[in-house]
Amino acid sequence: MAYENRNAAYNLELFSDNAAEKLPKKKKKTEHKKNNKVVALPQEALVKIRRRKHNPFKLFVGTVAGIAITAIVAAIIVGQVQLTELNQQIITAKADLRNAQSTYTQRQMSLQADFTTNDIEKFARDELGMSKAENAQKEYISLSQGDKAEISDEANLNFFQRIINAITGLWS
């Protein structure tokens, strides 16, 4: 018999609706209670009762909180916009400064190239009435003696101080 049910996995009759055992259905209880205490209300009254009752204080607090949060967010956004505009102005000013410095450098170099020493001498001679210094106008100073310091107040020195000053004067 064990070999007869060997092909049970392929027996499709086991899965048909007729082969399944039907469970008995439960009978619905249709008995009503004799003492029915349910009161029927009109539709308008039901809607009015079901409608949520709002607390005016909570509505006021919620509205104030919403306005405060909106104002804070708006202030933050306005601050960020102003910060962005100021940063853009700084960037533009720095670019203008770099351009002005470049122009200044170019003009300085062109001015230096335009004025040679001959041009400067000619301008000084013709416009300012200047002339070169001649040998008669030059004074020569000799510094070969070297620098030395002298004390002018020797009147109040005693005998020993004069001897020390004389000896130190030999080496200076």
The 3-state DSSP class for residue 36 equals coil
d(CA 42, CA 40): 7
Return all residues near 19 (Cβ < 8 A) that are at least 6 apart.
13
pLDDT at 128 over 80: yes
pTM over 0.75: no
Confidence band, pLDDT 50/70/90 cuts, at residue 165:
confident
What is the signed CA dihedral for 10, 12, 13, 17, rounded to 10 degrees?
A: 150
pLDDT at 62 over 80: yes
The 3-state DSSP class for residue 94 equals helix
The 3-state DSSP class for residue 20 equals coil
Q: Both tokens of residue 146? A: 């070297």
d(CA 59, CA 50): 19
The pLDDT value recorded for residue 87 is 96
